[in-house]
Structure 1
C-alpha cells in the first residue's frame, strides 16, 4: 500500500489530515506543496488535482481531493480508528452534520479574516481597508458565537458527543487561523477555551508538530502589532 498526502501546513484541512494520519499511525508519504510559491498551480500538481488545492491523497494510484471526502474514504478503508470517525449510524451522522456545516459556517469566516488581514497585505504590500476588515471580523465573531452556542453548549464535552472525533480536530485547526491574525477565540469565548485545550492534549505531539509554521506566523504578527 502506498499512501501519499499532498499538503501545506499553512492550510487548515492539511494540518488536520496530517495530525489524523500521524495519530492513526498511518504509513504515508508527506508531499509538501508550497502554496506561497504557487506550487499548486504547476502542471505537475494540476495533473494530481485539477482544482489546484490541498490537501490531496493518492492511495495506490487512487487520487482523492477534499478533506471531508478523504476522511470518509479513510474510514471505509479502515485506515483511521473508528473512535475518531465511528461507523455507528447516528453518531457518524452527528459528525457529518458538523462537517457539512463547518465549510460555510466556520471555515469560510475564519479563513477570510486571516486572508484579508494577513495574506492579502503580504502579497500586495497594501494594508487592508479598515471598514472591509471590520466586516470580516464581525462575520467571523458571529460564526464563533454560533459554533460555541450550537456545537459546544449542547451538554457534551466535544462537538459530536462525549468522545473526541475528527469534528473536533477540523474545528480546532480552523480556529488557529484567526489566532494567527491576532484574534484569540479562546480569550473571547469561555466555552471555546475550555473545549479547545482538550484537542491538542488528545492529539499531541502531532498537533503541535503540525502547527509549528502557523505558530511562527502568530508570533511574528504579535511582535509586529507591538511595534
Structure 2
C-alpha cells in the first residue's frame, strides 16, 4: 500500500501525457503537488531536472523518493497503488490486457500522428516563422486519418469506450492526444461522429478535471481563431 503523504508530479499542461496524469490525479482526488516545468522555456533541460529525468521529458512522478517517468507507467502505478476505481485499470486479466493492448498501440499510432499535426500547424510556424508546408500537412493528416479509422473499427467497435463499457486509462491517454490539434484550431473528430460522441462520453466521465486540464489548449485555440 502506498504512503498517502502525497506525491509530486512535474508537468507542462501543453503536453498531452501531462494532461492525462493531471486529470487522473484530480479526478481521483489523489493527494499531490504539481511542479510546473515550462517546456517552451527549456526548463526540462536544467541540471536539476536532468538529474531527475535524464531523458529531459515530462511527466515525472516522485512518490517518497521513488522516481517514475513515462505517462503510461505513471498512470498504471497510480491506478494500482492509490486505490483508484477498478474500471481505470481492471484487475481481471482479460480486461487489463485490453487496456495494455491499446496503450502499447497508442505510442506508435495515436500519439505521434495527432502530435505531428499540432507540431506542423502550431509549433513549427512559431519556432521558425515559416508557414506550414501544405503537402507535408496533407500527408500528416492522411496518416492521422488511418489511425482514427483504426480507433473506430478496432477499438471502439460497438462499445462505448476503447476497452469496454467503462472509461479506462486507454481512453484518458487517447483523448488527451486527440485534443491536441485543437490548439491550432483543428477539430480532427469533426467529420467522425462516432469518435466525437466517444470524446463527449469521456469528457462527461472526467467531469471538471477535463476542462481544467485543457484550459491552456483552449486559450491557444482561441488565439489561433482570432488570427483567422
Note if 1:197 corresponds to 2:204.
Answer: no
Structure-2-length-normalised TM-score: 0.94
Structure-1-length-normalised TM-score: 0.95
Aligned pairs (5 A) from 1:15-26: 15-26=19-30
Q: Residue 101 of structure 2 corresponds to which residue in structure 1?
A: 97
Please state how far the C-alpha of 1:79 moved relative to its aligned partner: 4.4
Please state how far the C-alpha of 1:147 moved relative to its aligned partner: 1.3
Aligned partner of 1:77 among 71, 76, 81: 81
For 1:47-103, what per-residue CA distance to the aligned partner results, in whole angstroms no more than 9, with x for missing partners?
111000001100000100001111222233234322211111110000110011011
Separation of aligned partners in 2, 1:19 and 1:214: 14
Separation of aligned partners in 1, 2:135 and 2:104: 30
Q: Residue 118 of structure 1 corresponds to which residue in structure 2?
A: 122
Please state how far the C-alpha of 1:179 moved relative to its aligned partner: 2.1
Q: Residue 214 of structure 1 corresponds to which residue in structure 2?
A: 217
Question: Aligned pair count?
Answer: 224
Q: Is residue 60–residue 67 contact of structure 2 (8 Å, CA) maintained in 1?
A: yes
5+ residue gaps, structure 2, are none
SS of 1:64's equivalent in the other structure is: strand
Q: Which segment is superposed worse, 51-60 or 168-177? A: 168-177
Tell me which stretches of 4 or more aligned residues in structure 1 moved more than 3 Å. none
Q: Residue 50 of structure 1 corresponds to which residue in structure 2?
A: 54
Aligned partner of 1:129 among 119, 133, 151: 133
Note if 1:8 corresponds to 2:9.
Answer: no
5+ residue gaps, structure 1, are none
Q: Is residue 26–residue 209 contact of structure 2 (8 Å, CA) maintained in 1?
A: yes
Note if 1:33 corresponds to 2:67.
Answer: no
Q: Is residue 80–residue 89 contact of structure 2 (8 Å, CA) maintained in 1?
A: no
